[in-house]
Amino acid sequence: MDNLEPEQHPKVGEFTRLRAAIADEPVRELFPFRFLAVNETFGRLVDATAYQILSAVGALPTNSGMSVQQAKKDLGIPWRRTIPLKFLYEKLSDSGILEREGIRYYPGDARPAEFEAVAAELAAREPGTAVAAEILRTLVDEAKTFFAGDATGDEILFAPQKLPLWLRYFSNDNLLYAINNKVGAEALSRLVPADGGPFEILEIGGGCGSAADLALRKLGSSVTRYRFTEVAETFARHGEKAARAAASPSTKVESARVDMTTPWEAQGIEPGTFDAVYSVNCFHVAPDLDFVIAEAAKALRPGGAIVVSECVRPTKLARPIHAEIIFDFLDSFTDVITDPVKRPTHGFLTPTAWRATFEAAGLGDVTVLPDVDTIAEDYPDFVVGAVTARAEGI
C-alpha cells in the first residue's frame, strides 16, 4: 500500500504522471509514491553532497568561473580523480546550483539544501535508506584525502570497517537499492515456462544475496535450480545464506565463486545449461562487457534469456544519474572499455547501448521493463529498468 498522501510532497503531480506512463500494471505497482519520494529526496542529498565535497577541496566556482582542468591544475588533483570531479560539477549544473558556459562553471541561482537536514528527511521517510546518507557522508569526510591522491575510492569506501555499511546498502531494506531487485524479479518471472517445466537460473555477481532473496521468493517452486555466484568472499557468504533461506524446498541451490571477467566454463559453468542468466547492478562494471555478455550467452540453453536489472541511463536525456556519485569514486566503475555505440561511456548504459551490446552478441528480442526512454522524457530522474535478451531457440 502507498503511504504518501498527495499533500505530503510537492512533486505528487509529477509522480502521478510518471505512474500513469507505466502501462504495465504489475510494473507500475513497483514504483509507488513512497519510492518516488525517497528517490527525489536522495537526489537532493546528492546535490548537497556534491556541493560540500567541492567546498571541502576548495573547488567551488567563484564569479570568475572554474573548469575541471583548472581545478585539476590549481589544486594538484591527480588525473584519474577528474572523473568524479567532472560528475560533481555536471550534477550541480544540472540542478541549477551551478551554471555552465562552455567548459567553465559559475555560481547559479539555486542553493543546495543543508546536508544533515536532507539526510534526516531521508531517514524519516524510509529508515532503511539512511545508509545511503552514511556512505555519502564518508565521501564528504574523505574528500581531501581522495582528491589529494592519498587513497583510492575503493580503499576509502571498502575499508574493512565500512563493510557493515555495504551489507545494509545492498539490502532489500534499502528501498533505493531494492527497486532493482524488484524489477529484476518481475522480469525473471515472465520467463518461467507456462507448462511448469524446469527453470534453472544462474546469477552472476549476486553480492549479499538481496536479488536472490526477492527472485526466489517471487518465483517459488517454479525455479528448479538456482546457482548463486559472487567473486568477493565477504559478500558471498551472506549471499549464499540468503539464497538458501529464500528458496523453495524443491529448489536446488548451488553456490560458487565466479569471476565474470575470466572464462566461465573454466570456473565450472557448463555451456548451454541454464534457462536464464541473471545479474543485478553488476554487468556495468565489467571491464570488457562484450566478453561478459558472450560468456553469459554461452551458458544459456536454446531460447534462454539474459536478464540485467540496473540503473539505466535515458538515451536522449544526457544527464548525470544521482546514484553514480558513489560509484564514480571507484576505479572499477570507471576503468572500462568503451565503444561509440555499444558503450559510449563508463557507468550505467542506455537502452540503446544495451540493445546494441546484446544484438552484437547474437541475442535478440531485447526488451526494457519498463520503457525507461519513454518515461524519462517526462520524468528525467526515472533510471530503473530490467533489460532482457533472448538466445535463439532450437
Domains and their CATH numbers in the chain: 6-169 (no CATH), 177-390 (3.40.50.150)
Confidence of residue 319 (pLDDT cuts 50, 70, 90): confident
Q: Is 105 left (phi over 0), alpha (psi -120 to 50) or beta?
A: beta
- Say if residue 66's pLDDT is above 50: yes
Q: Is the pLDDT of residue 146 over 90?
A: yes
Round to whole Å and give the CA distance between 223 and 197.
9
Q: Confidence class of residue 150 from pLDDT cuts 50, 70 and 90?
A: very high
pLDDT over 80 at 8, yes or no: no
Q: What is the pLDDT of residues 201-256, one digit of tens each?
A: 999 999 999 999 999 999 999 999 999 999 999 899 999 999 999 999 999 999 99
What is the percent of the chain where pLDDT is above 70?
A: 98
Show the CA angle centred on residue 29, arms to residues 372 and 379, nearest 5°: 35
From the number of C-beta atoms within 10 Å of its C-beta (0-12, 13-18, 19+), residue 132 rates as buried
pLDDT at 7 over 60: no
At 13, the pLDDT band (50, 70, 90 cuts) reads confident
Overall average pLDDT of the 90-110 stretch = 95
> Which of 130-139, 180-189, 250-259, 376-385 is the least confident region?
376-385
Which three cell numbers, joined as nine digits, stand for 112? Answer: 543546495
- Average pLDDT of the residues in 55-75: 95
pTM: 0.94
pLDDT value for 149? 94
Reported as a pLDDT band with limits 50, 70 and 90, residue 6 is very low
Which is it for the CA torsion 362, 365, 368, 371, positive or negative? positive
pLDDT at residue 394, as a whole number? 54
Task: Specify whether the CB–CB gap between 221 and 295 falls below 8 A.
Answer: no
- Confidence band, pLDDT 50/70/90 cuts, at residue 14: confident
